[in-house]
Amino acid sequence: MNKNDLINTKSTLCPCGSKQLYSKCCKPYHLSHAVAERPEHLMRSRYSAFVLRQFHYLITTHHADYLHGLTEQQLAQGDVQWLGLQVLSSKQESDHGEVTFKAWFIEDKHIDAIYECSSFIKQDGCWFYTHGQQMQTPLPSRNDACICSSGKKFKLCCAKLMR
């Protein structure tokens, strides 16, 4: 299945890890039929946009003052396979929010994660990503639960992709 086929599939679980159908979860955000009500919803929908290569959505939900020239073309470079999202914490105070997460991916048979505390602001009723503080995280141990939430051990699942 092509990644973009998920957009039209009504029975596919959302890549954001919510365990909801994509059509009921992040798809309405991606199609501009709804706006994220909380910073965590925006962060999850942005992760799904990375998975589904919805780069226009990523640009439109990135606060203009923090884009620093980022374009859809730049986001489209590379061949990253997203493996899973782990939301570690989420908080919101008035029109500001933070979400700490790990977004696991593989590129060139190397597994890594974007481990970030992302900042969000709300303007005119819409949440926008502003910036994030990057952190380092080790790979899971062989017997840890897999990063893709398959329920398998890491060694029996995504670790095999590194070979």
The residue ranking higher by pLDDT, 79 or 9, is 79
Averaged pLDDT, 62-71: 96
pTM value is 0.91
pLDDT digits (tens, 9 = 90+) for 4-24: 444 555 679 999 999 999 999
Mean pLDDT of all residues in the chain?
92
Q: Longest Cα pair distance anywhere in the chain, in angstroms?
A: 48
pLDDT digits (tens, 9 = 90+) for 23-58: 999 999 999 999 999 999 999 999 999 999 999 999
Cα(44)–Cα(41) distance, rounded to whole angstroms? 5
